Structure 1
Amino acid sequence: MARFARAVAVAAASILLLAGCTAPAADETPSPTAAPAAQTVEDSFTPVLAQTLAVPRGLPTSDGRVHVAYELLLSNVTTQTATVEQIDVVDESGDSVATLDGDEVTGWMHVSGTTAPGRVIGPGQNALVWLDVVVDSMDALPSRLTHDITFAFEPGAPPVISNRMTERVAETEVDRSAPIVIGPPLRGPGWLNGNSCCAVTPHRGAVNAINGSFHAPERYAIDYVQLDADGSFVTGPIDELESYPYFGADIVAVGDGPIVSMRFDLPEQTPGANPTGLTLDEYGGNHVVQDLGDGVYAFYAHLQPDNPAGVEVGQVLKKGDVLGLLGNTGNTDSPHLHFHLMDSPSPLGSNGIPFVYDTYELEGTISAAELDEKIAAGGPFAIDAAGAGSQTDLYPIWLTVTGYPEG
């Protein structure tokens, strides 16, 4: 036994010497290994799970501010009914940067399986919440966001589920990179942005369950109609294409890159009503998808049939090239251009990418109330010219009227 212990000691000394160390003295007793300190992990039960659909990004806009538009998916995993009482968005310093309180939540939330607005999530139901954090500049963007959401549960299940609980959930980084700069897809004055970011318009609300997951391709999508000198986009019967003076306007490439897909075989719809019976691949109508590089694709939709510009798949477009004419094909109730950028060539199975136009003229804005009141008749809309002027590297938000360079 003693000879074996001696052999082990010699071997250990040799290893230490080879490593350039000094062996301990023969009478030195090694220190015992300290026991690990006790660690306490404080768990909290989160009856409603939450996650962001995509990493939020800042978008400099025509109102002189930066909007962070993103979505939360909520999932009630309990057998209780959960009512959202408040959503508080908190930055990395613990400061509140946006709050939805009480009935205010209703306008920014949709519960799955329902058609009426509401903020009550039933057992096993999901809900989407659209958020818009607004800061003064790109430099003021937070680096991280998290969400304190207060729920009222009925019935409660003490001590695990109280009647009223606040969860801190869905921590996410914020992408602080600048959005892509492109040219406008249209020419001329009077283009009304009737549907886009950053309120919960039909585009922002269009979150699709495609290919096994949720996608928000239209997060920054814009629908354009052109107003005449009287502030109208319809000059005759609403069910006749000839009543829309901008019908047939040139649609131009917003940057350089090849066409990766297109369609021009669908007929014009009769304006004045939403079409029915469309298949999933018909919603965009006749359209062009262009690869702008670095994983960014441009989508130009509802174009006239028969490929009037004579473009081809694989053709490399240059910024400003005409690629089609404004039409009324697909899921549309009046002639307009639908335009957005996305992170894949799939117009529906993608996520929207923020963008800004290199230059345009802000002519003014209209009110949301007037849009609701007069959209069916095509106007006329009163344009508030406050803040009008040339703008560069900004996104024209919902309800703006803008003019774009000719040629």
Structure 2
Amino acid sequence: MAPPAGRLRWHHCAAAEVKNEPILEFKHGSPERAALQKALEDLKGKTEEIPCVVGGEEVWTKDVRYQLSPFHHSHKVAKYCYAGEELLNRAINAAMSARREWDLKPVEDRAQIFFKAADLLSGPRRAEILAKTMIGQGKTVIQAEIDAAAELIDFFRFNAKYALQLQHEQPISVPISTNTMVYRGLEGFIAAVSPFNFTAIGGNLAGAPALMGNVVLWKPSDTAILSNYAVYKVLQEAGLPPNIIQFVPADGPVFGDMITGSEHLSGINFTGSMPTFRHLWKQISEKLERYRTFPRLAGECGGKNFHFVHKSADIESAVNGAIRSAFEYSGQKCSACSRLYAPDSLWPQIKARLLEEHGKIKVGNPVDDFSTFMSAVIDEKASTSRLLQGRVSSDCAAC
């Protein structure tokens, strides 16, 4: 059924006007700084209770966990629970019960939800999502702003814009034949497995498939529960119906076994470690006869980012770029510079300036001091990993 003409025109107009979300500066005296400081104050010492959400119902299991603030370990920012096998099976059934109706809903209606969610994040929910990303994931104000606000808003708006445009991409027809492409969701559920380091990735891994007519099981990272649940609630507030996205924190191996063991698995949308994605891929390959369709796997596993400095480069620009890339958010992202190639002619100057700027890096609590440049790594496991990487780098430099 085609949507009313007036609504269709509104969507075309909205899509045509989509622009990148402006990045706010949070200067002293600015309204956004005041709003964020209030949101941060409201969260101090608070533990938010976050259930699994299955079939539109909030469910608590006996496997209760806590998310700790990475720079204030005594602060339990969230109390949540793991979904076990029984609850994950319920989530799959609930998702499948809603799949057909959601897939048949006009894309204009689905896009409307994501446009509204972006508006909520841009306006009344911005301070909340930033504060929860800062306290829960240890991000500085600027790192939270470019992630949990600007990038996530852009994901929702541009995804919706392109989903609307895609409907008009049709194969060529020549007399006497007419060729038509129908865009529809997959005939099963999508498993969205999201990481801790970008709130935006969580919203996008679960949101993009839902926008395109799919039902989703969203397993957020244990160390990003607080912010990811806030994104989930924003989608609900924007009109996302129950059962379209099931919010199911879970033990990784249990979740992997359940989704790959279901005949209804249609795809995995994943960001995380290479060993985990390889394991999921192997599990699926060993069970191909079980599935109703061939599951689609989309995985982003980071990598080694490098900077290549040309002899004509501006030294200050190269140094500032390298420092920011390598040390912002403690290097916990795929865009973090871990290699720098410089010509012999520039290296003495670059090295001197790198050491000078490195010495100015301010490490601390990003909530109490907005001038903090680098905060704590996400957890003890990450801390051990960083120490080992530092030893390897020092040994290599000595060689």
TM-score range, shorter chain: under 0.3
User: Where is the strand percentage greater, Structure 1 or Structure 2?
Assistant: 1
When normalised by structure 2's length, the TM-score is 0.24
Which has the greater radius of gyration?
A: 1
